Structure 1
């Protein structure tokens, strides 16, 4: 068997990864079936850089990062390696994982309305997070909480400290979630569909905030998303997943300028274009991702790929075919379909939300790809949302 290749990123040679994930596999057992949700995922997360992991619902994005956090149910079997600056995360006991989770590696969840405790004030929840990982008094923790609310640009932080989640807008609640995640200055910050539940204006503000925090604090950010517009605008590197596998990986500028994997191209084709006639049907990817409980022979995208041939009955390996550009395909495509959006204060004018907003549970067949179009105006960095 061929060894899993080391992922190569386009970042500078002096940038040492803070998190190195190698050959990570996640398997669930349900109803006597083995459900393979992640199949040998490898990547690096580097300080001050943002890695975007994209793909349809059910592709294994959220399962992969939740495995790193120790947030999967007991039925999950996790093997492989996740090295966080010399500390192996895979196989850690719950007790040891609780010491690392929130302190060394934190996560911002998709829906702040469901993640925050409605019976506790915003300040009390941040104080609790601070004191969980730092031996400080309640007074010092409260001062730290105010600092964090200022850091995430929440207006009137002293006032918000005493308010409850229901008294805040969706954007404000997400800023509180980010403040909680930053309570102990984690080395790695995972944003798991962190902007999906927000309107596009607030979405852009939250992404600008994450970029600013990444640059100021040197935090490695892993963004999980189905929105290629966000990945193109804000990520330094993009990793595309399909059926639990990495199928393409490159620096953002390289990937969007020289798409190689037909699946990636199909996702890009689904992005609504301004030049498209107003009543023209949107492009969709026909069919469904494969059932993760069934063993796949050959390329997993073969049944949905218009370029498939008999050769695709043998699974292609993920290989570095071009410097810094990895993909797994016997019949790669050539070229890009859309210009790369500038990294300004705005999301691309036409952003795509590909597939469903919520990751399908292992064993469930996710819906076929659909696309919705949104428009986002340019926004300054200061905001009250």
Structure 2
């Protein structure tokens, strides 16, 4: 396994130890999200809990369908009417779960903001860049049109968009994908939010532009002290830019720790499988990529035991019958597994039900 924790672009960020003195800005407790569809109830998020502190980045990673994006959209009030949300999400002292639309509109973009995956779909193609940023600024401030326009240019400079005064008058189709994403970051920062959510914000970009955008977000965080939630399936990005990592599977957290701790001491078999699926430079050319066997569980009919058990080569009868709790088994390292990869046990045989894995 490649030691991602040592192959980072921001080692000084990863090395930051747990800092309890930092003020919590977002506290999520026992968050549940379910959708009603065709007479079935789909449990997309199942008891998610975490604390996000000022100036820190939390990476939430997992396969598609693990509940990453649904969990943060629930905080933003961006789910359809068919969604039922319960639990608690405190932004400072403000409870977000159950908040009405009018109150949420005052919070959204002002105290908590989101950068979406595809800037081409998020930006209005009929409006210039400057108008769209100015609109976001005036929505959350009392600035007049001229002052808002000046602030928009400042934001374009802040996100390092070349020739900001000229770009202000251009339209989304005149910009590259990386430039459009910088514009989305500028809009998200218009009101200096306490929490910034980057929902797969670099997925549609090439590797070079992706690195530039992540470096930009890291620099802005250092300068502004914004807390960041990074939603991604890219463990390399998480290792390079996050302070802590939360791994999700079937709508729940299965491992959560400081970035260095997690990547150096992987405990949960699902996390280890994700790392094993990353292509390695040492792999022979034209070799088949490693995949995680089986399929994610049906979120409308979750098993009583560990949801990863049917795909896990360490699963036993206990795993299929009893759901392991997410506990702090080691200092500041939480994981949910009956048979974790502990030192000295990694190569020990575990009874495997081949029929369950087929």
TM-score under structure 2 length normalisation: 0.90
Selected match of 2:93 from 86, 89, 106 = 86
Matched residue, 2:78: 71
Matched residue, 2:259: 252
Question: Distance in 2 between the 1:158 and 1:10 partners?
Answer: 41
Matched residue, 1:319: 327
Alignment of 1:327-346 (within 5 A): 327-334=335-342
Residue 52 of structure 2 corresponds to residue 45 of structure 1:
yes
Selected match of 1:181 from 171, 182, 188 = 188
Selected match of 1:18 from 4, 13, 25 = 25
TM superposition shift of 1:311: 1.1
Higher helix share: 2
Q: Give the conservation status (yes or no) of the 8 Å contact 1:247–1:327.
A: yes
Question: Distance in 2 between the 1:10 and 1:326 partners?
Answer: 16
Alignment of 1:115-154 (within 5 A): 115-154=122-161
Unaligned runs of 5+ in 1: 1-8, 336-385
> For 2:154, what is the secondary structure of its paired residue?
helix
TM superposition shift of 1:156: 0.4
> For 1:247, what is the secondary structure of its paired residue?
strand
Selected match of 2:242 from 230, 235, 240 = 235
Matched residue, 1:366: none
Question: Distance in 2 between the 1:324 and 1:181 partners?
Answer: 31
Matched residue, 2:162: 155
> For 2:127, what is the secondary structure of its paired residue?
coil
Question: Distance in 2 between the 1:55 and 1:252 partners?
Answer: 15
Please give the per-residue CA displacement for 1:135-192, whole angstroms capped at 9, x wherever unaligned. Answer: 1100010011001000000010000000000000000000000000000000000000
> For 1:311, what is the secondary structure of its paired residue?
helix
Matched residue, 1:216: 223
> For 1:29, what is the secondary structure of its paired residue?
strand
Number of aligned residues: 327
Matched residue, 1:99: 106
How large is the Cα RMSD of the aligned pairs? 1.0
Please give the per-residue CA displacement for 1:42-89, whole angstroms capped at 9, x wherever unaligned. Answer: 111111111000000000000000000000001100000000010000
Matched residue, 1:265: 272
Matched residue, 2:7: none
Question: Distance in 1 between the 2:240 and 2:17 partners?
Answer: 17
> For 2:23, what is the secondary structure of its paired residue?
coil
Question: Distance in 2 between the 1:136 and 1:209 partners?
Answer: 26
Question: Distance in 1 between the 2:238 and 2:61 partners?
Answer: 8
Residue 260 of structure 2 corresponds to residue 279 of structure 1:
no
Runs of 4+ in 1 over 6 A off after TM superposition: none
Unaligned runs of 5+ in 2: 1-15, 344-358
